[in-house]
């Protein structure tokens, strides 16, 4: 299907979890004897990059987060990546891939966005434009349109796809895409409900009142039933299992399609719920649970891609980072720089790529955030150029307009 209208903020919220895929083969890559696959996973809500990949070698790290800082020792010891960085312990699969040269971390990365609105940040992340609010197409779709197709996949591959609910901005545009939605619905997180409520208060007050009433009824139901009480350990564990199952099912099913000889070659997924203002818990709380679910999702992709994994790149990106300091509710607020996580057999991995800005108060962006030193567009340009063979002029003028000064990162793909 082809979608040409600009997405509403409501549509962006509702688009999580569906796979949107391009059904053609890149001609140049095929001529080189390659059959590349590329999957983009968008984490909506802003990932705490310092909670995902900790700079344990920075002398200011422990002082910055005190007992909430990930460390190389203790009950929840971080997984060492090199002499300076360590991975969240909830991600052993990503750590295994890193050690095998099939995963890369890009730290202190950000889009051009420097404000703190989720919607505007997601708009820039998915549109690839330097400013929010003006896009009708996304960078991944424009990348499709810039590649000379080398033939369409077998028409039988289309039968596996059903039309999904709403196409996210990143894949909207002139290049036709197929969509598929996993049968399991994602569990609605508290931050998703609050963001919807805030949106509807401004655009649809009647619906906002209905949503508030529904949230109140849910709270009453939780109080009256042990299985629905989020403070009950068994119920909480069941909720964690639900999130992990949804992530793994969505990505695993997507990988089955992408891994087929007659399947699509490029796709996109989005997962909501990363807005960790309270009770973040990088080592044993909500962030650890989300990262564990993401880690399981990456493992599911590796498994379900089969032999195609060796020619696969998975790029995990988010709209912005979070504050360097923990706030008064044991969470983090909207920040600037974060991490991009790359996985796949086609990578030249086993590296943390970072021009590290430091964590001293004078080093922080606006005195509160990790300072961005890598433009995320450079990372995406490098992957699109070396893996899918998108031309430089198309990257600078069509895929990421106005980014001529941002040079593609080289050497990400083996």
Q: Which secondary-structure segment (H or E) carries 18?
A: none
pLDDT at 3 over 80: no
The token pair that represents 35 in the structure block: 């059959």
Q: Which secondary-structure segment (H or E) carries 280?
A: none
Local confidence band at 213 (pLDDT 50, 70, 90 cut-offs): low
Share the mean pLDDT of the chain. Answer: 83
Phi-psi region of 138 (alpha: psi -120 to 50; beta: other; left: phi over 0): beta
Give the torsion through C-alpha atoms of 47, 50, 52, 54, to 10 deg: 170
Picking from 343, 347, 345, the residue whose alpha carbon sits closest to that of residue 409 is 347
Q: What is the pLDDT of residues 147-182, one digit of tens each?
A: 877 666 553 433 222 223 456 788 888 877 777 666
Q: What is the pLDDT of residues 367-383, one digit of tens each?
A: 999 999 999 999 999 99
Distance from C-alpha of 121 to C-alpha of 258, rounded to nearest angstrom: 28
410 — phi, psi (to 5°)? -100, 155
Radius of gyration of the chain, Cα coordinates, nearest whole angstrom:
20
- Secondary structure of 86-142 in HEC code, one letter for each residue: EECCCCHHHHHHHHCCCEEEEEEEECCCCCCCHHHHHHHHHHCCCCCCCCCCCHHHH
- Assess if CATH 3.40.720 describes domain 9-185+251-399: yes
Asked if residue 345 lies in contact with residue 310, where contact means CB atoms within 8 angstroms, the answer is yes
Among 56-70, 72-86, 255-269, 310-324, the minimum mean pLDDT is found in 255-269
Picking from 31, 108, 90, 27, the residue whose alpha carbon sits closest to that of residue 281 is 90
Asked if residue 309 lies in contact with residue 345, where contact means CB atoms within 8 angstroms, the answer is yes
Distance from C-alpha of 209 to C-alpha of 200, rounded to nearest angstrom: 9
Asked if residue 164 lies in contact with residue 179, where contact means CB atoms within 8 angstroms, the answer is yes
Asked if residue 324 lies in contact with residue 338, where contact means CB atoms within 8 angstroms, the answer is no
Mean pLDDT of the 396-404 span: 96
Distance from C-alpha of 228 to C-alpha of 222, rounded to nearest angstrom: 5
pLDDT at 1 over 70: no
Residue with tokens 């009433």, as numbered in its chain: 213
Burial (CB < 10 A; 0-12, 13-18, 19+), residue 52, is buried
Q: What is the pLDDT of residue 196?
A: 60
Q: Which secondary-structure segment (H or E) carries 243?
A: helix 233-259
Residue with tokens 């209905």, as numbered in its chain: 210
Picking from 344, 265, 343, 342, the residue whose alpha carbon sits closest to that of residue 312 is 344
The token pair that represents 221 in the structure block: 């139901």
145 — phi, psi (to 5°)? -65, -20
Distance from C-alpha of 1 to C-alpha of 334, rounded to nearest angstrom: 35
Q: How many CA atoms lie within 13 Å of 335's alpha carbon, on the beta-carbon side?
A: 35
Q: What is the pLDDT of residues 16-69, one digit of tens each?
A: 445 666 666 677 887 888 999 999 999 999 999 999 999 999 999 999 999 999
Picking from 317, 288, 301, 211, the residue whose alpha carbon sits closest to that of residue 254 is 301
Helix (H, G, I), strand (E, B) or coil at 341: strand
Local confidence band at 105 (pLDDT 50, 70, 90 cut-offs): very high
Q: Which long-range contacts (CB under 8 A, 24 or more apart) does 218-224 make?
A: none
Local confidence band at 100 (pLDDT 50, 70, 90 cut-offs): very high
Q: What percent of the chain has pLDDT over 90?
A: 59
């Amino acid at each position: 299907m082809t979608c040409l209208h600009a997405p509403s903020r409501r549509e962006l919220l509702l688009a999580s979890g569906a796979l949107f895929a391009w059904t053609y083969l890149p001609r140049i890559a095929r001529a080189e004897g390659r059959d590349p696959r590329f999957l983009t996973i968008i984490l909506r809500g802003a990932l705490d990059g310092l909670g995902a990949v900790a700079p344990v070698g920075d002398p200011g790290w422990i002082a910055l987060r005190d007992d909430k800082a990930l460390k190389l020792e203790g009950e929840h010891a971080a997984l060492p990546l090199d002499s300076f960085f360590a991975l969240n312990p909830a991600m052993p699969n990503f750590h295994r891939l890193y050690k095998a040269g099939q995963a890369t971390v890009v730290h202190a990365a950000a889009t051009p966005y420097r404000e703190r609105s989720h919607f505007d940040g997601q708009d820039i992340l998915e549109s690839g434009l330097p400013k929010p609010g003006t896009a009708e197409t996304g960078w991944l779709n424009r990348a499709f349109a810039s590649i000379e197709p080398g033939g369409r996949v077998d028409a039988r591959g289309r039968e596996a796809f059903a039309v999904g609910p709403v196409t996210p901005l990143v894949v909207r545009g002139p290049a036709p895409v197929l969509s598929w939605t996993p049968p399991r619905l994602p569990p609605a997180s508290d931050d998703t409900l609050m963001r919807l409520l805030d949106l509807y208060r401004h655009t649809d007050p009647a619906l906002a009142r209905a949503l508030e009433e529904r949230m109140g009824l849910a709270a009453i139901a939780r109080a009256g039933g042990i299985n629905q009480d989020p403070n009950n350990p068994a119920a909480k564990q069941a909720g964690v299992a639900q999130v992990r199952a949804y992530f793994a099912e969505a990505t695993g099913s997507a990988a089955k399609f992408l891994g087929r000889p007659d399947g699509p070659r490029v796709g996109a997924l989005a997962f909501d719920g990363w807005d960790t203002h309270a009770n973040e818990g990088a080592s044993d709380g909500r962030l650890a649970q989300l990262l564990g679910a993401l880690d399981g999702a990456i493992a599911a992709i590796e498994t379900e891609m089969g032999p195609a994994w060796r020619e696969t790149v998975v790029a995990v990106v988010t709209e912005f980072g979070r504050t360097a300091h923990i706030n008064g509710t044991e969470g983090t607020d909207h920040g600037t720089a974060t991490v991009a996580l790359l996985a796949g057999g086609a990578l030249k991995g086993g590296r943390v790529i970072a021009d590290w800005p430091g964590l001293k108060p004078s080093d922080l962006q606006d005195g509160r955030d990790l300072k961005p030193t890598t433009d995320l567009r450079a990372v995406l340009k490098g992957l699109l150029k070396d893996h899918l063979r998108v031309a430089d002029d198309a990257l600078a003028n069509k895929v990421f307009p106005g980014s001529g000064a941002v040079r593609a990162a080289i050497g990400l793909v083996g």
